[in-house]
Chains A and B, each alone.
Chain A
Amino acid sequence: MAELKLMKGNEALAEAAIRAGADAYFGYPITPQSEVIEYLMTEHPEDRTGMVVLQAESEIAAINMVYGAASTGKKVLTSSSSPGISLKLEGISYLAGAELPAVIVNVVRGGPGLGTIQPSQADYFQSVKGGGHGDYKLYVLAPSSVQEMADFVEDAFDIAFKYRAPVLILSDGLIGQMMEKVNLKDQKERMSNEELIENYGDWAVTGKTNRERNIITSLDLQSEKMEARVRRLMKKYEQMEKEDLRFEKIMCDDAEYLIVAYGSSARISQKAVELAREKGLKVGLLRPITLFPYPKQELFELADQVKGILSVELNAGQMVEDVQLSVQFKVPVEHFGRTGGIIHTPEEILEALEQKIIK
């Protein structure tokens, strides 16, 4: 039943996965997201709901286990952190190509390489610009609280099955590790095999009964067929942009200056907006909740209202490119970010806004 609890972001996500009626989790330990599999192993959801939890031999094996369960129509997820997600990208590309529903969680740490175990948002490009090989996109949800770590699991599954496509929850070490109170939803029942066959029997491999055989593959050696597949994927992404874009506007109505930030940066930027308002500066915050689809139109329109925009990110400047593309050079757009695992303070953000935008 529904309850209010004090939890770490990673634990809240794991508990929400059980309650969302997930059929399976496959993962491999990596800091700062190991609490997800630790929590699941301790909770033993096999007894609670029948959910399968397995520690794979690598991130590569884990994502391909996800591919296997997803091929049969099961509700399946995996989680990892940046270097682990790099390893999963081949599998993610296959999931997109084979049109399989799955949820992937990235609790981002700093890079490149082994980088740092501290929080970062340096996987923005990897998440929204493809990452793996080929023409595909991921629907990307960016939680900015422990509550959203929990809520977005079910949202992600809904989108994954609506489009038969992989969905990424792009969190970071800060949201994953911090503790907050979280409202947990009621336990949702797992779908029975009979229901699954009724719902997804037209595509899932569940054993060929009295029907044509189902085949899951991303291979089309005939060029025309492969192009048709790519076009089908692009149609899904267009539909996502039309129907499932999510963002939040905070104090934007009278804003003369705008901060754009997602995830943990949005959380800190919200405080910076308050500090600015105390100084009499009319600053607003646009928080993209989905990073693909991206609130392009919203930014394009806000650019007619504000004098300048600051993209605040925990990286060396990635999302700022999408902000620039969206506003089409109508107003100055600058980036402010810290790297190496250093978290910017609200004061730093306000100072950057004053120096780079307000001047």
Chain B
Amino acid sequence: MDILEIIKPENQVFCKTKLMTDTPLSYCPGCGHGTAHNLTMEVIDEMGISEDTIGVAPVGCSVLAYDFMNIDITQAAHGRAPAVATAIARTWPEKYVFTYQGDGDLAAIGTAETIHACNRGENIVIIFVNNGIYGMTGGQMAPTTLEGMKSSTSPFGRDISTMGSPLKMTELVANLPGVYYVTRQAVHNHKSARKAKKAIKKAFENTRLRKGLSFVEIVSNCNSGWKMTPNESNIWMEENMFPYFPLGDIKVDGKLK
């Protein structure tokens, strides 16, 4: 039987969401960004809100998110995505506005913008991909790099006494009254990805209901930066990242868990 006779709509059990472009992903094989992108686009597609969604891309590995997400996107200066999103949400209150940011962008250079957008309770979604390292610039220490973890700027491991502790930005913003929903998810296996998608959907639903800010952290791997194979990096993530950054809901419907 010819392959084209098999590829028919009635035989299709899974397909790439139409909100992802055909541009090959620029992420390293094994990286979680592709799945996080795909889940976000699936949610927007399923909710039927793509015409009313405006995305804000960060600086970092996902700076080129606009190459892969087939929606209107503006790309912000390093760390400033929550400020950019604030203005869009304020001037277009009927739109769905989300930022997609990494840990360096959101929890180091953009700390002030993150905290204050959260504190004002802007009606936006923040998707925060935390892989504990600066991937784009070649594996430097991030605010979320674990104690003892090696990077090109902490070659002997992160020394807490001189470099500070890994920052739990998600727990921090959960304490702000303007923040309505805070959760920490992962996307490295099917079970986690399904849960993460539900969380992202809840976040966008909150925007629809004008509940304020929803903050979805996705703990992810960086096999290139961590200098591991993709599988090794996922195991390492489960064993080391998850104990420090535990998965699950932190704040739901405006109430801390």
Contact = CB atoms under 8 A, between A and B. Distances in A.
Interface of A: 23-24, 26, 52, 54, 56-58, 60-62, 64-69, 71-72, 74, 76, 90-91, 94, 98, 193, 205-209, 213-219
Contacts of B72: 205-208, 213-215
B235 interface: no
Interface string B67-84: 000111111110010011
A72 B90 CA distance: 11
Contact of A68 (B51, B53, B87): B87
A68 B83 contact: yes
B113 A52 contact: no
B237 to A, nearest CB: 29
B99 to A, nearest CB: 10
B90 A54 contact: yes
Nearest to B95: A207
B74 A68 contact: yes
Nearest to B119: A57
B54 interface: yes
Interface of B: 50-54, 56-57, 63-64, 66, 70-77, 80, 83-88, 90-92, 95, 112-113, 115-116
A26 B205 CA distance: 28
B71 A208 contact: yes
Contacts of A205: 54, 72-74, 88
A54 B85 CA distance: 13
B51 A208 contact: yes
A19 B257 CA distance: 48
A24 B93 CA distance: 13
Contacts of A91: 77, 80
A56 B112 CA distance: 10
Nearest to B73: A215
Contacts of B87: 24, 26, 52, 54, 64-69, 74, 76
B116 A64 contact: no
In the A-B complex, list the 4 residue pairs whose CB atoms are closest, starting with the nearest. A68-B87, A68-B84, A64-B80, A71-B74
A209 B51 contact: yes
Contact of B66 (A61, A94, A215): A215
17 contacts: A26-B87, A61-B80, A61-B112, A61-B116, A65-B84, A65-B87, A67-B77, A67-B80, A68-B56, A69-B91, A72-B54, A207-B52, A207-B54, A207-B72, A208-B70, A208-B71, A216-B73
A206 B92 CA distance: 8
